[in-house]
Amino acid sequence: MTLLSIKNENVIYKVKNKSIHAVNNVSFDIEQQDSLGIVGESGSGKSTLALSILRLLPKKTTEVSGEIIFEGINLLDLSESELENIRWKEISVVFQKSMNSLSPIHKIGSQMSDIYMLHNKTASKAEVKNKMTELLELVNLPQRVYTMYQHELSGGMMQRVSIALSLMHNPKLIIMDEATTALDVITQGQILSEITELEKRLNVTRIMITHDMSVVANTCKKIAVMYAGNLVEFGFVKDIISNPKHPYTQGLLKSFPTLKGERGVLRGISGSLPDLSVQHDGCIFESRCAAKGERCLKEKPGTVILENGRMVMCHSAGGDN
Ligand SMILES: Nc1ncnc2c1ncn2[C@@H]1O[C@H](COP(=O)(O)OP(=O)(O)O)[C@@H](O)[C@H]1O
Ligand SMILES: [Mg+2]
């Protein structure tokens, strides 16, 4: 069953006298329990897309159009008060630095309880305490974390608290935006394997935003490749890893993130992202594409639909290239 359906979504940031097209005519569906990885280098529009689903983009400076349909409801039509019933309860998010929004001077447990009570105002003390015990267990944290302060936690423990917070109200969809990127490889691996276990148990669908293809390959069923605000390839991980069709996907699969992370140069793809504040006549990837032809300079490719729900935005995708 389709949980989330994004249709022709556009997000434009209005800054000074510029319009930055951060998300450009993006459409795709997420089926229940189909973990989806969204990949692309820094500046591709991944976080913008995530924030738009949660309606967390600044209202004054952004223009969002299209449809974001969650369980049959277009989230873009909802009022702030209606959104209260969706955010955290139905859709939640974990950021790389989610813990930054917690206070360093209050104990973790009391803050978790306060957050829980925001949506469960009538919960008794015992009920809240039980819920917190259950949540800490869920994310493999010792109970003593309840009485600890933020500065006493390791990076991995902090992300576990963030994940516990995101699962607090049993959401159907959880969005993780570079949530494990800052962790060492071993901790990242542990948390990722725990999450994939948990989501099966709790019936949660996950969107995993990352610049790291290996994270998606290891933990997701489907993949959405974004480049400069465009969805350039979409489909099952197994199909795309074995036979990437878009030259950008091919390049991503050849490159590895540097130790410093997201802003590293991609091996296999030279050049950098185009200016998102100017309109491009041809293919958005043309300036960096080694396989481009005449047509790519003049004509924006449409999305080619292939077998197995696969989509590719490239002039050569339909042929035997
Ligand atoms: N608040 C903002 N105001 C203006 N431009 C923004 C804002 N946030 C992001 N952008 C721009 O939108 C584009 C996409 O950014 P982002 O969604 O953060 O990409 P990613 O998460 O893939 O790194 C970038 O060009 C970025 O500079
Ligand atoms: Mg981002």
87: CA distance to ligand 2 center in Å? Answer: 19
Residue 267: the pLDDT is: 61
Beta-strand relationship, 222-227 and 230-236: antiparallel
Task: Mark 19-50 as b/e (b = at least 16 C-beta within 10 Å).
Answer: ebbbbbbbebbbeeebbbbbbbbebbbbbbbb
Q: Which tokens is 224 given? A: 């959405």
Residues 6+ away with beta carbon under 8 Å from 263: 42
pLDDT in tens, 279-305: 889 999 999 999 999 999 999 999 999
Q: Ligand 1 pocket: which of 9, 11, 20, 96 to mutate (most atoms <8 Å of CB)?
A: 20
Q: What is the CATH number of the domain that holds 64?
A: 3.40.50.300
Q: Tell the residue nearest (CA) to atom 14 of ligand 1.
A: 45
Per-position DSSP letters for 235-291, written without gaps between them? EEHHHHHHS--SHHHHHHHH---BTTBTTSPPTT--S-PPPTTS--SS-TTGGG-TT
Better pLDDT: 211 or 148: 148
The answer, yes or no, to whether any atom of ligand 1 lies below 6 A from the CB of 56, is no
Which range (15-24, 94-103, 222-231) has the least confidence?
94-103
Per-position DSSP letters for 35-93, written without gaps between them? -EEEE--TTSSHHHHHHHHTT-S-TTTEEEEEEEEETTEEGGG--HHHHTTTBTTTEEE
294: CA distance to ligand 2 center in Å? Answer: 33
Q: Ligand 1 pocket: which of 13, 21, 93 to mutate (most atoms <8 Å of CB)?
A: 13
Which atom in ligand 1 lies closest to the alpha carbon of residue 42? 23
**pLDDT exceeding 90 applies to what percent of the chain?**
86
**pLDDT exceeding 70 applies to what percent of the chain?**
95
Q: Which tokens is 289 given? A: 């594409």
Residue 256: the pLDDT is: 60
Q: What is the pTM of this model?
A: 0.94
33: CA distance to ligand 2 center in Å? Answer: 23
What is the C-alpha to C-alpha distance for residues 105 and 238, in angstroms, rounded to an integer?
Answer: 46
The answer, yes or no, to whether any atom of ligand 1 lies below 6 A from the CB of 45, is yes
The answer, yes or no, to whether any atom of ligand 1 lies below 6 A from the CB of 276, is yes
Burial of 190 (0-12, 13-18, 19+ CB in 10 A): middle
Does 157 map to a domain? no
Q: Which tokens is 242 given? A: 């074995």
Residue range(s) defining the domain that contains residue 247: 2-79+220-312
Which atom in ligand 1 lies closest to the alpha carbon of residue 15? 4
Does 181 map to a domain? no
Does 31 map to a domain? yes
Which atom in ligand 1 lies closest to the alpha carbon of residue 276? 25
Please count the structural domains in the chain: 1
Does 267 map to a domain? yes
- Return the closest-CA partner of residue 164 out of 200, 199, 124, 137: 137
Average pLDDT over residues 169-175: 97
Does 140 map to a domain? no
The answer, yes or no, to whether any atom of ligand 1 lies below 6 A from the CB of 244, is no
Does 288 map to a domain? yes
Q: If you search the block for the tokens 């993949």, which residue do you land on?
A: 223
46: CA distance to ligand 2 center in Å? Answer: 5
The answer, yes or no, to whether any atom of ligand 1 lies below 6 A from the CB of 44, is yes
